[in-house]
Amino acid sequence: MNVVKAVKVPDRPSLNEKALRIARVETLSVNAPTIRAHKLSNTEIHHKTIIVVRVILANGAVGYGEGSTLGGPRWAEESPESIRACIDTYLAPVLIGRPANRFEALALAMSKAATRNTAAKAAVESALYDAVGKSLGLPAAQLLGGRIHDGFEVIWALASGDVDQEIEEARGKLAAREHRRFKVKIGLAEPHADVSRLTRLVEALPDCQIIVDINQGWTVAQCNRWIPALEELGIALIEQPIVARDRQNLVRVTARSRVPVMIDEGAFATSEVAAAGCRGAGTVLSLKLVKSGGLMEMKRAAGVGAAHGMELYGGCLLESGIGAAAHLAVFSTLPVLHWGTEHFGPKILSRDLIASGLTFRDFRIECPIGPGLGVEVDERYILSMADGAWRGSAI
Ligand code: MUC
Ligand code: MG
């Protein structure tokens, strides 16, 4: 019989819940300019207002998270102002003094303190994983089941609306071996103008994969008329063509289209993912922390989507390196992420909010491997771009 001799397990760092107690939860509103105008069907941005959350534990560990929006409350209901107010007023008070490693219990407490407000909750949960991971010397991905993937092909979004500029930008990305898959934001102009723009892009970028995001900009009639033209052009994927709340018609649009249709704004909660999956409202699901409300829930959404036969896409909301790292921690643990990811956010900002930790190389983004989220936040830079000082609650 084989006898296994017990080896003493090192007792430091340890799961000492007193040391892991949440001492402070703080927020900072940071104005981060983008390198160019980013135009969607329903908003145009030149900068992002990012709510950075900082959680400080009794042991001194500091964790960071990011609350993201696009164009104030235009992409979804939450705005930077509402995210900050929700965290300061409703979420922080139910967390202070509790052990940060009880992720499930804290998520429950947050869901009782506030309905939806998913971007605010996701920002806080990211900071908890960062702080606990740093305390234990473990990457957040390890706390979520452990890494399967080291990195992913990363998509770049073309969204200036000026096709000559977009061709030049895409060629630059190709030459630098940064991106060879492109998501074109359409739905702001008339469909015939977008189809002409796409025709130019497809001709100028042979061998590149091109997908489109309509951001709810088309009617069902426009889908019926124009999706065949997208198919003709070889567009690989169509994201959220019609208004988010109309999942019934998304079922019809999906069934008619030979190009896969991805649901984005139409499925936030995991129950909405299940409903979409059951009925066939999209055959691809875009995963986003701001939709799921946290890392654990995004992982559950991925499981539910996959169980309904949906393909998975690693979505973003133009997060900085902080939010990108939080997404990658989850994505790296998923069995399959069929469409890779689009976390180009750190590079659409004129300057990222992190000083190190994320690498873009050979058309890929590498998943950080350090403790917590594995990135080093540039505190000095974020303070220099902040609207006021850190605000927060403490024990
Ligand atoms: C969205 O709707 O997908 C993500 C990339 C991008 O360009 O816009 C965002 C939001
Ligand atoms: Mg989208």
Locate 321 and state its tokens: 């390196």
pLDDT band, residue 393 (cuts 50/70/90): confident
306 and 276 Cβ atoms separated by less than 8 Å: no
What single-letter amino acid sits at 141?
A
| Distance from C-alpha of 132 to C-alpha of 285, rounded to nearest angstrom | 29
pLDDT band, residue 259 (cuts 50/70/90): very high
Residues with CB under 6 A from ligand 1: 70, 157, 159, 185, 213, 215, 264, 315-318, 342
Separation of CA 391 and ligand 2 centre (Å): 31
Distances (CA, A) of 294 to 128, 329, 380: 10, 12, 27
Atom of ligand 1 nearest to the CA of 265: 2
Separation of CA 84 and ligand 2 centre (Å): 23
Atom of ligand 1 nearest to the CA of 344: 5
Locate 193 and state its tokens: 């103008």
Separation of CA 280 and ligand 2 centre (Å): 18
Nearest Cα to Cα of residue 322 among 343, 300, 291: 343
305 and 277 Cβ atoms separated by less than 8 Å: yes
pLDDT of residue 2: 67
pLDDT band, residue 9 (cuts 50/70/90): low
On the question of pLDDT at 87 being above 70, the answer is yes
pLDDT band, residue 10 (cuts 50/70/90): low
On the question of pLDDT at 3 being above 90, the answer is no
Separation of CA 3 and ligand 1 centre (Å): 56
Contacts of 344 (CB under 8 A, 6+ apart): 154, 155, 156, 157, 179, 316, 318
Locate 29 and state its tokens: 């509103």
Q: What percent of the chain has pLDDT over 90?
A: 95
Token pair 């643990």 in the structure block, residue: 333
Contacts of 171 (CB under 8 A, 6+ apart): 204, 205
Given ligand 1 and candidates 183, 218, 320, which is best to mutate, with the most ligand atoms within 8 Å of its CB? 183
Locate 313 and state its tokens: 């896409």
On the question of pLDDT at 4 being above 80, the answer is no
Atom of ligand 1 nearest to the CA of 288: 3
| Distance from C-alpha of 34 to C-alpha of 369, rounded to nearest angstrom | 27
Beta bridge partners of 284: 262, 311
- CA nearest ligand 1 atom 2, residue: 215
For 379, other C-beta atoms within 10 Å of its C-beta total 16
Given ligand 1 and candidates 36, 39, 40, which is best to mutate, with the most ligand atoms within 8 Å of its CB? 40
Nearest Cα to Cα of residue 375 among 326, 330, 315: 326
Q: pLDDT tens-digit profile of 139-198?
A: 999 999 999 999 999 999 999 999 999 999 999 999 999 999 999 999 999 999 999 999
- Indicate the Cα dihedral angle 74, 75, 80, 83, nearest 10°: 120
Q: pLDDT tens-digit profile of 304-314?
A: 999 999 999 99
The whole-chain average pLDDT of the chain stands at 97
Q: Domains in the chain, please, with CATH?
A: 13-138+379-394 (3.30.390.10), 143-374 (3.20.20.120)
| Distance from C-alpha of 79 to C-alpha of 84, rounded to nearest angstrom | 9
| Backbone φ, ψ for residue 226 (5° rounding) | -105, -20
Q: pLDDT tens-digit profile of 11-24?
A: 567 789 999 999 99
